[in-house]
Amino acid sequence: PYALGADSDNASPSFDLWYQERHNDEISFGLHVKKTLHSVQSPFQRVDVFESTGFGRVLTLDGLMMCSDRDEFVYHEMISHVPLLVHRKPRRVLVIGGGDGGTLREVLRHDCVEEAVLCEIDSEVVDAARQYFPALAVGLNHPRAKIHIGDGVEFVKNSPKGEFDVVIVDSTDPIGPGVGLFSGEFYNQVKRILAPGGIVMAQCESPWENKFDLAKVYGNLKEAFTSVYSMVGTIPSYPYGYWSWGFASDVQHPFEKIDLERAKAIEKTTKYYNIDIHRGAFALPNFLRQKLAHV
Ligand code: AAT
């Protein structure tokens, strides 16, 4: 009848503990917390895991939502399958960030990928995923995955020219350790380590967030690559529920030549991605077209 306490299995959402992500000084998103599971301060950020009644287990970094059991599939499928199904034959893939393992899990569904290298700055994220997110950590434990703990900016700078077919920037927001992963200088280095025909796919925040300069980040991508496209998708637990990613390449169009044979096999295993979604994800509303008009 009364509040049972946040650690109780049948906690009532009317009472107890709530998590709130403050997107800015005006807008926030909240979840009822069933149980807090983990909280550590790493040298880079605060890492928390909790069980929510609405979205299952949740990973936050410095209090910001990174992934939830319920909707992580949208982000991880789109950031991975779109570039991998446009590239003719992706053999070597680099994931920067993504320490939860979700992107690796999707990348390694592609049998043509011989090795997927992950460069995550914070080992505490990898450890938390292994302990609390077994469905994501399958990617980290995959025999064709190679985990490197270090700064993605340095890793890219030190990688040989033409080393990767696809680079996926699965990074945090452009604050804290993630800042360098949105700069033009970084994207130029990414271009250097891509083999001919290479593609970069980068997490690019919500088009609704006016405090984040989307045109600047897409502009930085455009400094390095001849064709840059914005892709959008719906992720309920991320700010505004509406997300964008940047697809950049010197030669590839993001959906005119999808490898349909491989895509048909992949779409049998996915919960969000399918060939229609792939094509439709590049259809942008006018307010976003306008934001990117000068890119
Ligand atoms: N897979 C979806 C979750 C993320 S996590 C992004 C990861 O990038 C984090 O684990 C963070 O530690 C790592 N990271 C941040 N900066 C660097 C860096 N310089 N080098 C390598 N890894 C880094 C993405 C969330 C999307 C944003 C949601 N608001």
* Predicted confidence (pLDDT) per residue in 187-229, tens digit: 999 999 999 999 999 999 999 998 888 999 999 999 999 999 9
Q: Is the residue at 229 inside a domain?
A: yes
Residue of 232, 224, 273, 226 lying closest to 107 (CA atoms): 273
93 and 229 both lie in a single domain:
yes
Mean pLDDT of 125-147: 98
CATH number of the domain enclosing 94? 3.40.50.150
Q: Is the residue at 279 inside a domain?
A: yes
100 and 42 both lie in a single domain:
no
Ligand 1 center to residue 47 CA distance, Å?
12
Ligand 1 pocket test, candidate residues 22, 59, 121, 201, most atoms within 8 A of CB: 121
Residue 183 has pLDDT above 80, yes or no: yes
Ligand 1: residue whose CA is nearest its atom 8: 97
The pLDDT, as a whole number, for residue 5 is 47
Query: Which of 165, 170, 173, 259 is the catalytic position?
Result: 170
Mean pLDDT of 146-166: 98
Number of domains in the chain: 2
Span 119-129, pLDDT tens digits = 999 999 999 99
Ligand 1: residue whose CA is nearest its atom 17: 178
107 and 238 both lie in a single domain:
yes
Asked whether the beta carbons of 66 and 172 are under 8 A apart, the reply is yes
Q: Please give the structure tokens belonging to residue 72.
A: 């992580």
Residue 76 CB burial class (10 angstroms; 0-12, 13-18, ≥19): buried
134 and 280 both lie in a single domain:
yes
Sequence-distant (6+) residues with CB within 8 A of 25 are: none
Ligand 1 center to residue 97 CA distance, Å?
4
Residue of 142, 167, 143 lying closest to 87 (CA atoms): 167
Q: Which residues line ligand 1 (CB under 6 A)?
A: 61, 64-67, 75, 96-100, 102-103, 119-122, 125, 151-153, 170-173, 177-178, 180-181, 203, 238
What ipTM was estimated for this complex?
0.97
Range of 32's domain? 17-68
Q: Please give the structure tokens belonging to residue 271.
A: 């919960």
Output phi, psi for 225, to 5 deg.
-120, 145
Q: Is the residue at 2 inside a domain?
A: no
Ligand 1 center to residue 68 CA distance, Å?
14
132 and 250 both lie in a single domain:
yes
Q: Is the residue at 1 inside a domain?
A: no
CB-hemisphere CA count at 13 Å for 207? 20
Confidence of residue 9 (pLDDT cuts 50, 70, 90): low
User: From CA 87, how far away is CA 195, in angstroms rounded?
Assistant: 11
Output phi, psi for 191, to 5 deg.
-60, -40
Residues of the chain with pLDDT > 90: what percent? 89
Sequence-distant (6+) residues with CB within 8 A of 229 are: 246, 247, 248, 254, 282
Confidence of residue 294 (pLDDT cuts 50, 70, 90): confident
Sequence-distant (6+) residues with CB within 8 A of 249 are: 197, 198, 199, 200, 225, 226, 227
The separation between CA 61 and the C-alpha centre of its own chain, rounded to angstroms, equals 14
Span 48-83, pLDDT tens digits = 999 999 999 999 999 999 999 999 999 999 999 999
The pLDDT, as a whole number, for residue 246 is 97
170 counts as catalytic: yes
